[in-house]
C-alpha cells in the first residue's frame, strides 16, 4: 500500500512539473490572442485619450510680424498693394505681436499641457465665464477693432499728424448674464435702431432709448418691451435682424445700460493728407493686446525713427494702448515670452507694473516684474523693457539700438 501511494505522489509531481507539450497550431492561437488583446487595449486607450474634457490650455502662440497688416496711403494704393500681395517698403526691424493660443483639451492633451511648464490649464468657466465660445470670440474682435483705432491715433499724435475721425457705429461688446437680450444679441452686433429710432453713436442710443420710453406730454413712462434692429456679420455675410425682448421686473426701460448691454463706438481715423492714411486689417486675431506693436509699426511707416535697426532685428511687443497713449496690462505673459524667444526676439516690450485704479482696473498688475523674472530664468540674452506709455516704448527701442 505504501509503495502504491509513493508511486501516485511521484507520478503527480511528474505531471505537475512536466513541460507542456503544445502543437505549432496552439502556439499560433495564443500569439493571435495576445496580439488581439494588445490591439484592443491600445484602441481603447487611444479612444479615451481623444475624449474632450471641459478644460482649455493657454499655450505660446506666434510672434507674428505686424507688417502685413498695416498699410499706408490712399485707399486705391492700399488695394493695389493687397492685390499684388506685396508689402510696402518697411524700414528697420521686424516688429512682432505676441499671441497666446487657446485650445480645448482632450484627456491626452490635458496630461501633456499639465506637464508643460509654460502652458496654463483652466476650466471652461475660468476662460469664458458666463459667455459662450461664440460670444467670447465676438467680444475679442470688438476689442481688437478698438485697439487698431487707438494704435493709429497714438502714432498720429506722436508725430503731430493732423487727422479727423468718424464713428462707424455702435457695437455690442458684451451681453451680461441675466440680460433679456442674451438670447437675441451677440457681441460684435451693430445696433441700428431702437424702437424705430436710428442709432449712430452712443449719444443717439441714449436718446433713442429715452425717447422710446416717453409717454404723453414727453414724460417718460415705464416700458415692458423693447425692439432693437441690428446688423450681424457672419463669415463676411451681413444679416439684418430684429430682436424683441420683455424687460424684467424693476427695469423701466429708461437706461440702456440697465438692460445688460455693454456697447461701444467703433471709429475710423482719417489723416488730413490721404498719403499718410493708415489702415490696420486683422481678422484672425482677437483681443486688444496688439495695440502697442501696431502703434510702433504705424509710427515707423509714417517716418518715425526707432534708431538704427535692420530687417534682421526682431523686436516683440505686447500691450494695449488707450486713447491717451498709455500702455495698459495684458494677460499671458509667460506664453508670450516663450513665443518671443522662439522667434529670436532680443528686445521685448511689455506693460509696466500698474497700481490698482490705473487703466480702469480695480486691481494692481505686475506685467513688467513677471516678464523680467521669467526672462532671467528661462530666456538668456532676452532684454525685457517695461513701458508705461507709447512715448516710453519709442524711447526704449531707440536706447536699445544705441547701446548695441
Report the domain count for the chain.
1
Quick count: other Cβ atoms within 10 Å of Cβ 256? 23
Would you say residue 216 lies in a domain?
yes
Q: Which helix (H) or strand (E) holds 349?
A: strand 347-351
Would you say residue 35 lies in a domain?
no
Is residue 60 within 8 A of residue 100, CB to CB? The reply is yes
Fill in the DSSP letter of residue 215: -
Pairing outcome for strands 163-175 and 190-194: antiparallel
Distance of alpha carbon 344 from alpha carbon 96, whole angstroms: 11
Would you say residue 198 lies in a domain?
yes
In this prediction, residue 107 carries a pLDDT of 76
Would you say residue 49 lies in a domain?
no
Q: What is the DSSP string of 281-334?
A: --SS--SSTTHHHHHHHHHHHTT----S--TT-EEEE--EE-TT-BEE--S-HH
Distance of alpha carbon 137 from alpha carbon 283, whole angstroms: 11
Would you say residue 318 lies in a domain?
no
- For the chain, the straight-line distance linking the first and the last C-alpha, in angstroms and rounded, comes to 105
CATH number for 176: 2.30.42.10
Model pTM score: 0.80
In this prediction, residue 86 carries a pLDDT of 46
Fill in the DSSP letter of residue 289: T
Would you say residue 182 lies in a domain?
yes
Q: How far is CA 114 from CA 99, 373, 376, in A?
A: 20, 21, 23
Return averaged pLDDT per consecutive 10 residues of the chain, 404 residues in all: 54 46 60 65 61 85 92 72 51 85 82 83 88 89 91 95 94 91 92 93 89 53 78 85 78 73 92 94 80 95 84 90 92 95 94 93 94 93 95 94 79
Would you say residue 261 lies in a domain?
yes
Distance of alpha carbon 267 from alpha carbon 282, whole angstroms: 16
Would you say residue 208 lies in a domain?
yes
Name the residue range of residue 198's domain: 163-271
Would you call 302 helix, strand, or coil by DSSP?
coil
Distance of alpha carbon 229 from alpha carbon 248, whole angstroms: 20
Q: Which of 177, 185, 58, 181 is nearest to 126 (CA)?
A: 58
Residue identified by cell 430682436 is 243
In this prediction, residue 114 carries a pLDDT of 76
Distance of alpha carbon 375 from alpha carbon 191, whole angstroms: 45
Amino acid at each position: 500500500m505504501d509503495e502504491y501511494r509513493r508511486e501516485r505522489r511521484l507520478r503527480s509531481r511528474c505531471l505537475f512539473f512536466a513541460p507542456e507539450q503544445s502543437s505549432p497550431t496552439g502556439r499560433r492561437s495564443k500569439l493571435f490572442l495576445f496580439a488581439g488583446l494588445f490591439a484592443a487595449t491600445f484602441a481603447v486607450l487611444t479612444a479615451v485619450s481623444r475624449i474632450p474634457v471641459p478644460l482649455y490650455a493657454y499655450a505660446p502662440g506666434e510672434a507674428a510680424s505686424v507688417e502685413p497688416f498695416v498699410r499706408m496711403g490712399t485707399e486705391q494704393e492700399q488695394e493695389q498693394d493687397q492685390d499684388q500681395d506685396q508689402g510696402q517698403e518697411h524700414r528697420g526691424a521686424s516688429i512682432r505681436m505676441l499671441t497666446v493660443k487657446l485650445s480645448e483639451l482632450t484627456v491626452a492633451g490635458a496630461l501633456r499641457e499639465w506637464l508643460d511648464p509654460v502652458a496654463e490649464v483652466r476650466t471652461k468657466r475660468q476662460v469664458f465665464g458666463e459667455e459662450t465660445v461664440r460670444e467670447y470670440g465676438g467680444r475679442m474682435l470688438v476689442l481688437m477693432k478698438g485697439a487698431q483705432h487707438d494704435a493709429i491715433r497714438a502714432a498720429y499724435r506722436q508725430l503731430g499728424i493732423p487727422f479727423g475721425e468718424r464713428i462707424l457705429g455702435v457695437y455690442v461688446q458684451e451681453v451680461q448674464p441675466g440680460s433679456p437680450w442674451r438670447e437675441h444679441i451677440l457681441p460684435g452686433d451693430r445696433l441700428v435702431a431702437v424702437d424705430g429710432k436710428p442709432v449712430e453713436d452712443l449719444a443717439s442710443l441714449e436718446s433713442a432709448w429715452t425717447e422710446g420710453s416717453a409717454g404723453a406730454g414727453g414724460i417718460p413712462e415705464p416700458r415692458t418691451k423693447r425692439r432693437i434692429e441690428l446688423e450681424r456679420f457672419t463669415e463676411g455675410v451681413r444679416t439684418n435682424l430684429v430682436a424683441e425682448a420683455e424687460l424684467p421686473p424693476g427695469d423701466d426701460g429708461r437706461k440702456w445700460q440697465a438692460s445688460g448691454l455693454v456697447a461701444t463706438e467703433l471709429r475710423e481715423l482719417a489723416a488730413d493728407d490721404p498719403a499718410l492714411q493708415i489702415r490696420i486689417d486683422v481678422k484672425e486675431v482677437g483681443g486688444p493686446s496688439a495695440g502697442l506693436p501696431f502703434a510702433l509699426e504705424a509710427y515707423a511707416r509714417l517716418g518715425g525713427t526707432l534708431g538704427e535697426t535692420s530687417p534682421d532685428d526682431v523686436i516683440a511687443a505686447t500691450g494695449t494702448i488707450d486713447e491717451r497713449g498709455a500702455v495698459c496690462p495684458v494677460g499671458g505673459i509667460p506664453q508670450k515670452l516663450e513665443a518671443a524667444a522662439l522667434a529670436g526676439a532680443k528686445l521685448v516690450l511689455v506693460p509696466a507694473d500698474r497700481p490698482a485704479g490705473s487703466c480702469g482696473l480695480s486691481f494692481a498688475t505686475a506685467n513688467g516684474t513677471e516678464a523680467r523674472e521669467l526672462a532671467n530664468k528661462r530666456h538668456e540674452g532676452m532684454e525685457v523693457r517695461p513701458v508705461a506709455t507709447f512715448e516710453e516704448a519709442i524711447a526704449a527701442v531707440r536706447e536699445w539700438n544705441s547701446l548695441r
